[in-house]
Amino acid sequence: MLYAQEGINPMSGCLWSLLPFPIIIALYSIIRQPLSRFMMLSSEVIEQVRSIAAGLGYTAAETAGRTAFYEEIQLTQFINDNFDAFSGIKGLMRVNYNFLGVDLTVMPGDVWKQVFTGGWPIIGLVLIPIISAALSFYQSKVAMAGNGQKADDPAARSGRTMMYMMPLMSLWIGFTLPAALGVYWIANSVFQIIQDVILNKYFSTQMEAEETEREKAKREARVAKMMAAREQQRQFQEQQNKAKQKKPEKKQPEKKEKKGTSTSEAGRVGDRPYARGRSYDPEHYEE
């Protein structure tokens, strides 16, 4: 209610930029553990799959010291290449991690040094995090352009900070995690940009019209309030004037002039004008 009254959008800051993280965490878990998280296989079935794969010559490749951490990805790739040998295991699915000739299970940070010798599979892996960071920056810029915030607005300053931080995070995540997450981030940014452009173009005129009507209504309400206050003051003044006209004026009684004797004459005794005082004794001078 308070947000609506003050015209503040709680989603106009950096909160919206944090929403994809729970999805990325869940997606990363599925990509890293496709057998236990995606196919929902028990640990006993996974051990059975490992034993069959070992009999076919499978060995987990060392990947920058993370063999155990990403071992299920390599095992899933081996199952995809030799799926007929695992046909007796229920719940096992064929998963192909190749996309446009690029292996999405590989981390670009592990192969970027081979960019000039590895051909398109390596070049494509290195381009995924770079494209992801560029689209993330453009998405933030489009979103900020459409929210109509002022440059000195605290929410706008926070949004500008996130506009530079999010692409850097996307670049770092794209190089340190499997390339599949970078592809997800690219797809998410593309859809978000399309959505922001369409919404901004479609609703900008409507929002401006609504804002104009809202300001007009506020102005009319303010003028009406001022006129009502003036009318109330005028009526009060008229009542005061009528009350004064009906009230009779009281005549002040005329003051009677007191005729008094001067002090000098009242206290005269013979030739002495102030002889009669508090200590006056008429027999004081009797012989």
Rounded distance, CA 33 to CA 76, Å?
Answer: 9
Reduced to 3 states, what is the DSSP secondary structure of residue 269?
A: strand
pLDDT score recorded for residue 127: 92
Q: Are 121 and 103 in contact (CB under 8 A)?
A: yes
> Two tokens at 274?
């102030």
Q: Are 268 and 280 in contact (CB under 8 A)?
A: no
pLDDT of 64 above 50: no
Is the model more confident about 187 or about 255? 187
Q: Are 53 and 39 in contact (CB under 8 A)?
A: no
Is the model more confident about 29 or about 10? 29
- Average pLDDT, integer, range 255-261: 56
For the chain, the domains span 22-96, 108-234
- Average pLDDT, integer, range 43-49: 89
Is the model more confident about 14 or about 205? 205
Element (H, E) at 215: helix 179-246
Element (H, E) at 98: strand 98-99
What is the 8-class DSSP label of residue 156? H
pTM for the model:
0.56
pLDDT of 177 above 70: yes
Q: Are 125 and 106 in contact (CB under 8 A)?
A: yes
pLDDT score recorded for residue 130: 93
Q: What is the pLDDT of residues 132-159, one digit of tens each?
A: 999 888 888 877 776 555 555 665 666 6
- Average pLDDT, integer, range 163-173: 83
pLDDT score recorded for residue 128: 92
Is the model more confident about 98 or about 266? 98
Is the model more confident about 253 or about 82? 82
- Average pLDDT, integer, range 186-208: 78
Is the model more confident about 144 or about 258? 144
Rounded distance, CA 77 to CA 67, Å?
Answer: 14
- Average pLDDT, integer, range 257-280: 60
pLDDT score recorded for residue 113: 85
pLDDT score recorded for residue 115: 84
Q: Are 176 and 107 in contact (CB under 8 A)?
A: yes
Rounded distance, CA 198 to CA 185, Å?
Answer: 20
Alpha helices, H only, 56-178: 71-81, 108-111, 120-146, 154-176
CA distances from 132 to 50, 75, 118, 170, 203 (A): 35, 28, 21, 6, 28
For the chain, give the mean pLDDT: 76
Tokens 């299970």 correspond to 105
Is the model more confident about 36 or about 249? 36
- Average the pLDDT over each of 83-87, 149-153, 200-204 and give the range with the smallest value: 149-153
3-state secondary structure 19-57: CHHHHHHHHHHHHHCHHHHHCCCCHHHHHHHHHHHHHCC
